[in-house]
């Protein structure tokens, strides 16, 4: 039985198709020094990465959308001087199980450290949900940061990270991004990205957080076909308003730069300096919502309190403060 090639050995094939143009199977096989049958097996392997590949007799193979791989050096050089000075480590992996998991296992002495991946095989979202992570289509980023002690109101950190990401996207021309409590980025009711933060106690009372961010950038309809909820991407949103699409490297730089600045700000001032922006970007404000947790709560969302809890006013006029990790927010379906 022929053993599957490792990722690094398959990468030249993905790069040969990166422009999105038709490339003949004969040319690809000759470059790789393999038979056409062996080439077909390699194509199947990189399709399993989540690459959307089209094949036609007489034309060969092509990616349905061009592929831009991330470049750690280019991302680092684009950071602001303050962020570049803060960041101790930056790497781009080809495929990992989960960028969060890789940084959980990394030494905290190297914090702050950031890890991007071209694809994840076991990406995860809030409450254990899977996160679809096709190769080279989106941003999969984890950032490890160590606080000297446990910050007050650490539960508000996902909200601050949402604000920081929305700020970076607004600077890239996506002014329509909103935040859905507690950890989603949205364009209207379509999901653009999500945040997952995991914390660890360290020796001496220190607090280490791993901030995971998944952001849809250039995912094709085929790559997102199995998602169960409405979604959109940075490129789709930019094209819809007639703007040129941002490169993945430029977006990676902008988001990482904003997150590093936000963490320093959060460490110094807490959530107070993010609250006004969060309320301005709140997708649910004033809308009828349904909260499902240990019990079900229905009412109207009335923003968040200084502790980051969602305020929901039920039909009897009572205000409930709902805390992250206990419930999920369900926006009602749009009217037909």
Q: Is 330 a catalytic residue?
A: yes
Catalytically annotated residue among 62, 102, 167, 191 = 191
C-alpha span between 331 and 299 (Å, rounded): 11
Cβ within 8 Å of residue 133, ≥6 positions away: 50, 117, 119, 120, 121, 123, 140, 214
C-alpha span between 70 and 91 (Å, rounded): 10
Strand order across the beta sheet in which 288-292 lies: 319-322, 310-313, 296-304, 288-292, 328-330
Q: Is 14 helix (H, G, I), strand (E, B) or coil?
A: helix
C-alpha span between 63 and 156 (Å, rounded): 41
Catalytically annotated residue among 126, 132, 180, 248 = 126
Paired tokens of 167: 């700020």
Catalytically annotated residue among 36, 200, 243, 330 = 330
Q: Is 126 a catalytic residue?
A: yes
Q: Is 41 a catalytic residue?
A: no
C-alpha span between 167 and 177 (Å, rounded): 9
- Which sequence positions are flagged as catalytic? 126, 191, 330
């Amino acid at each position: 039985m022929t053993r599957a090639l490792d990722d690094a050995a398959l990468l030249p094939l993905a790069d040969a198709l990166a422009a999105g143009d038709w490339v003949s199977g004969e040319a690809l096989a000759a470059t790789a020094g393999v038979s056409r049958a062996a080439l077909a097996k390699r194509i199947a392997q990189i399709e399993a990465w989540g690459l959307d590949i089209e094949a036609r007799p007489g034309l060969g193979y092509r990616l349905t959308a061009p592929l831009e791989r991330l470049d750690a050096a280019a991302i680092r050089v684009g950071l602001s001087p303050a962020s570049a000075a803060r960041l101790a480590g930056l790497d781009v992996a080809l495929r990992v199980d989960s960028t969060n998991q890789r940084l959980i296992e990394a030494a905290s002495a190297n914090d702050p450290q950031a890890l991007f991946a071209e694809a994840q095989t076991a990406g995860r979202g809030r409450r254990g949900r899977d996160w679809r992570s096709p190769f080279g289509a989106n941003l999969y980023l984890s950032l490890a940061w160590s606080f000297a002690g446990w910050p007050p109101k650490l539960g508000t950190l996902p909200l601050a990270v949402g604000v920081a990401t929305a700020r970076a996207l607004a600077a890239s021309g996506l002014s329509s991004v909103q935040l859905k409590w507690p950890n989603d980025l949205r364009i209207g009711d379509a999901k653009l990205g999500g945040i997952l933060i995991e914390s660890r106690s360290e020796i001496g009372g220190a607090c280490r957080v791993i901030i995971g961010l998944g952001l849809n950038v250039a995912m094709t309809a085929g790559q997102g076909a199995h998602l169960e909820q409405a979604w959109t991407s940075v490129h789709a949103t930019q094209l819809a308003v007639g703007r040129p699409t941002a490169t993945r490297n430029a977006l990676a730089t902008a988001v990482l730069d904003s997150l590093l600045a936000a963490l320093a700000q959060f460490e110094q001032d807490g959530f107070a300096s993010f609250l006004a922006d969060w309320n301005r970007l709140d997708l649910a404000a004033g809308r009828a919502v349904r909260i499902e947790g240990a019990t079900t709560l229905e009412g109207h969302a009335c923003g968040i309190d200084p502790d980051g809890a969602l305020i929901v006013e039920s039909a009897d006029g009572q205000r409930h403060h709902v805390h992250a990790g206990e419930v999920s927010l369900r926006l009602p379906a749009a009217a037909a």
